[in-house]
A = this chain, B = another copy of it.
Amino acid sequence: MQNFEYYNRTKIIFGKGTEERTGSETARYSKRVLLHHSGGSVVRTGYLDKVKESLKAAGVSWVELDGVKPNPRLSLVHQGVEICKREKLDFVLAVGGGSVIDSAKAIAIGALYDGDVWDFYDRKKTAVEALPVATVLTIPAAGSESSISSVITNEAGPWKRAVDEECLRPVFSILNPEATFTLPAFQTACGVADMLAHIMERYFTKESHVELTDELCEGAMRAIIRNARRVITGGGALDYDARAELMWAGSIAHNNLLGTGRIGDWGSHMIEHEISAVFDIAHGAGLAIVFPAWIAYNLKEDTPRLARFAAKVWGVDGAFYDYEQAVLEGIFRMKNFFKSIGLPVSFEDAKLDSAKIPLMAEQAVKFGPVGNYRKLYAQDIEAIYRLALK
């Protein structure tokens, strides 16, 4: 087991009606905040109004910035930074999913920096301070509500890049599963792929003595898979408890408890980022395409671990006789699961142009080879993309 530090100071407020606490929790930090959201369903469903009522009741005023899109754009971040500086706002409240939260985090570092906030994403600067960020989550997926990560797309490339620093961890996050009742099946499914990917990135490690976290990872993945079926294909869109399992799982998948003592891989995320940067498809859909191909490419890389994954998560029997067959059966079941909840599992499914593959493979290794389970270079990544063609 590797040495580690585990410190997650985000206060999670979870359950029915908890958005009513937004105002009182925010008021502990600030009386005048940037209120950041998409301007989409959060407005239509009236959920944002509930948050605003709560802010008002607590005497908190706000400047509003909407327009966040999936794969959140640098240009909007620039606007947010300018507003914070001009209006002297000292707190960013994100109401939405991972894109809104990631955009809010970018604004929070930019607001305390004189240069272009892209410097942090382009690894020219390290983020050591940011305005406090809090979230009211509406899409369980990214885990950004208690993570240190922010992923932003610079339209100039397009380049999709991440910053991971402690100063970006939200001070509190409000999670009401009822807010996810109106989430379309496809978006729910993308979220499911994202949270499974966050666990798989940690699960696939060469560290051999991590039994406790292996057990926690496997259990969380099984719970996600079962509840995804219930919500998406089992008629449970309004099933509070199934929605609640998914919502809490999304946070646990990425709050890094499941990564303690182990070195995660994270190659698949880098490989996917190029897909969603170039084709602007949902991150979760991109992950459903990449992950099965990534496992297939690594078939001979610690096969027993991959077979354990097939056995413990996908219920594959026979893992004791032929590990490789077990892994292949596991991949088959994983793809079937993704398809069954409406996700693409290939370039063909998602109608992506394979001509971009060499360029994407080059971009993915801009900062060097990716992944720790197995270091991947441009040629490996190209091969993985090609394994995902059909």
**Distance from A265 Cβ to chain B, minimum over Cβ atoms (Å):** 20
Q: How many residues of A contact B (CB 8 A)?
A: 45
Q: A12 is contacted by which of B6, B15, B220, B222 (Cβ under 8 Å)?
A: B6
A18 at interface, CB cutoff 8 A? yes
Q: Convert A300-326 into 0s and 1s, putting 1 for each residue whose CB lies closer than 8 angstroms to a CB of B.
A: 000000000000000000000000000
**Distance from A174 Cβ to chain B, minimum over Cβ atoms (Å):** 10
**Distance from A371 Cβ to chain B, minimum over Cβ atoms (Å):** 24
Tell me if B220 and A215 are in contact (CB < 8 A). yes
A280 at interface, CB cutoff 8 A? no
Q: A1 is contacted by which of B7, B244, B261 (Cβ under 8 Å)?
A: B244
Point out residues on A near B: beta carbons under 8 Å: 1-18, 177, 208-209, 211-212, 214-216, 218-220, 222-224, 226-227, 240-242, 244-245, 248-249, 252, 257, 260-261
**What are 27 A-to-B residue pairs whose CB atoms are below 8 Å?**
A1-B15, A1-B240, A1-B245, A1-B248, A3-B15, A3-B18, A4-B12, A5-B12, A7-B10, A7-B11, A7-B12, A14-B260, A14-B261, A208-B241, A209-B241, A209-B244, A209-B245, A211-B226, A212-B220, A212-B227, A212-B245, A212-B248, A215-B220, A215-B222, A216-B252, A218-B219, A248-B260
Q: Which 8 A-B pairs have the closest CB atoms?
A: A3-B15, A215-B219, A209-B241, A7-B11, A212-B223, A219-B219, A6-B12, A1-B244
Tell me if A248 and B223 are in contact (CB < 8 A). no
Nearest B residue to A16, CB-CB: B3
Q: A5 is contacted by which of B13, B16, B209 (Cβ under 8 Å)?
A: B13
Nearest B residue to A230, CB-CB: B211
Provided the pairs A215-B223, A252-B212 are in contact, do residues A14 and B3 lie with their beta carbons within 8 angstroms? yes
**Distance from A17 Cβ to chain B, minimum over Cβ atoms (Å):** 8
Neighbouring B residues of A244 by C-beta, 8 Å: 1, 209, 261
Q: A216 is contacted by which of B18, B216, B261 (Cβ under 8 Å)?
A: B216
Tell me if B245 and A211 are in contact (CB < 8 A). yes
Query: In the complex, given contacts A7-B9, A209-B244, A219-B219, what are 16 additional A-B residue pairs having Cβ atoms less than 8 angstroms apart?
Result: A1-B244, A2-B15, A3-B17, A3-B18, A4-B12, A4-B15, A5-B11, A5-B12, A7-B10, A208-B241, A209-B242, A212-B219, A212-B248, A212-B252, A244-B261, A248-B260
Q: How far is the CA of A335 from the CA of B260 in the complex (A)?
A: 31
Neighbouring B residues of A242 by C-beta, 8 Å: 209
Tell me if B5 and A8 are in contact (CB < 8 A). no
Neighbouring B residues of A214 by C-beta, 8 Å: 223
**Distance from A333 Cβ to chain B, minimum over Cβ atoms (Å):** 18
**Distance from A229 Cβ to chain B, minimum over Cβ atoms (Å):** 12
**Distance from A29 Cβ to chain B, minimum over Cβ atoms (Å):** 15
Neighbouring B residues of A227 by C-beta, 8 Å: 211-212
